[in-house]
Structure 1
Amino acid sequence: MATAAHRLAPELAISEWFNVSEPLSPARLRGRPIFLHTFQLLCPGCVTEAIPQVKRIERLFGQTDLEVIGIHTVFEHHAAMSPTTLKAFLHEYRLTSPVGVDLAEEGSDIPVTMRRYGLRGTPSSVLIGRDGAILHHAFGVEDDLAVGARIALALAAAPPEDLTVAEDQDQQNCSGGRCSATAPSFEGSRG
């Protein structure tokens, strides 16, 4: 089931990055749409459906400013899904987009980024707009046409005029040290 949340994307909590020279974050990428996909290398649906879909997205939108980021979010079988094993998996499946290992937190089976984004499992995806707002959130693999249409709308959106974070917390839509943003709704979307 999919939901459109329209809140600012939380920061990623990553213990190790692959296929990128420096850490990525939604805040640093503001102004560019982001397709965030979460997976586990031992998840059958991730391997047979989600990873091939991500590769199609990369092929179709590779000449745009869409940033595709994978998050290896391990919530079970931790010993079998180490960063070393992930590195071999990325090579075997020819995944070249940035992939981060979701940070495990002492005393919790659920990794930090997975918890921050409210993900229910893998595979999951989150589409983040140019303004940093979550446009779409899904658990499972959705139809390619629907995903592509949402990405196309995110790419067509005008970049926000002001990409800086306001220090004045009394500004409209800000309170208690948090600011919210509105994003365009996708009329007729499922969920």
Structure 2
Amino acid sequence: MNKKSLYKSLSICAGLLLASHVWAIEKNNVAPSFELNGTDGVIKLAKYQGKLIYLDFWASWCGPCKQSFPWMNELQAKYGAQGLQVIGINLDVKNEDARQFLAIMPAHFPIAFDPSGVTPRIYGIKGMPSSVLISQEGKVLFEHAGFKDSDKPELEGKIKSLLEGKK
């Protein structure tokens, strides 16, 4: 990573950290709506009302994001018919960076672009990757920062329980 990329990454992370203090959302609050351009047209949160949503914030330069994509594809394939919808929100300043990432690491779920970083600010995202689990009724159930293999069982367990109607 060159100095310019490093400074860009650090400034985005610092901005997310500062913004999260002001805008952080709380569990059981209604998830803030959004409407963003995506790889296949406009992505609106309201379109997925009635589904359990795994909302993932990511960037092309984020190492753990590369590890999370295959797992999110598996989640969508395994639980999509039961009502899960994975949605990725890319935070790269240039959409082309995200598209290059997706050429190598395809997503089998909708991808939205937020180069201005408004959506992570309103969700109180503190770093990447971060995910927010949103109920079928549109309420925030759970937030998770980072991603490592050891996170998978807990996250998938929560998703499975919620799809089965358990809280």
For Structure 1 versus Structure 2, the TM-score category normalised by the shorter chain is: 0.7 to 0.9
TM-score computed with the length of structure 2 as normaliser: 0.75
Alpha-carbon distance in 2 for matches of 1:23, 1:86: 16
Three-state SS of the structure 1 residue aligned to 2:142 is strand
Q: Structure 1, unaligned stretches of length 5 or more? A: 105-110, 158-183, 187-191
Three-state SS of the structure 2 residue aligned to 1:27 is helix
Deviation at 1:57, TM superposition (A): 1.4
Deviations 1:68-114 (A, max 9, x none): 1000023xxx3xxx21232232122121311011151xxxxxx1000
Deviations 1:33-82 (A, max 9, x none): 111111111111211x22232123123223322111000023xxx3xxx2
1:131 pairs with one of 117, 122, 137: 137
Alpha-carbon distance in 2 for matches of 1:35, 1:50: 12
Alpha-carbon distance in 1 for matches of 2:112, 2:101: 13
Alpha-carbon distance in 2 for matches of 1:92, 1:140: 21
Three-state SS of the structure 2 residue aligned to 1:141 is coil
Q: 1:13 to 1:114 in 2, by over 3 A?
A: farther
Three-state SS of the structure 2 residue aligned to 1:153 is helix
Q: Report how many residues are paired.
A: 141
Q: Structure 2, unaligned stretches of length 5 or more? A: 1-24
**Which is higher, the Rg of structure 1 or of structure 2?**
1
Q: Name the residue aligned to 2:74.
A: 56
Alpha-carbon distance in 2 for matches of 1:103, 1:155: 32
Calculate the aligned-residue CA RMSD, in Å. Answer: 2.1
Contact 1:32–1:130 (CA under 8 A) maintained in structure 2? yes
- Structure 1 residue ranges (4+ consecutive) displaced by more than 3 angstroms after TM superposition: none
Q: Which amino acid aligns with 2:73?
A: K
Alpha-carbon distance in 2 for matches of 1:114, 1:134: 14
Alpha-carbon distance in 2 for matches of 1:42, 1:128: 26
Deviations 1:129-159 (A, max 9, x none): 00000111111126211111111122223xx
Pairing 1:41–2:47 present: no
Alignment of 1:95-110 (within 5 A): 95-104=107-116
Alpha-carbon distance in 1 for matches of 2:31, 2:43: 13
1:9 pairs with one of 31, 44, 47: 31
Question: If each structure's helix is expressed as a fraction of its own residues, which one has the higher value?
Answer: 2
Alpha-carbon distance in 1 for matches of 2:56, 2:33: 14
Q: Report % sequence identity.
A: 26
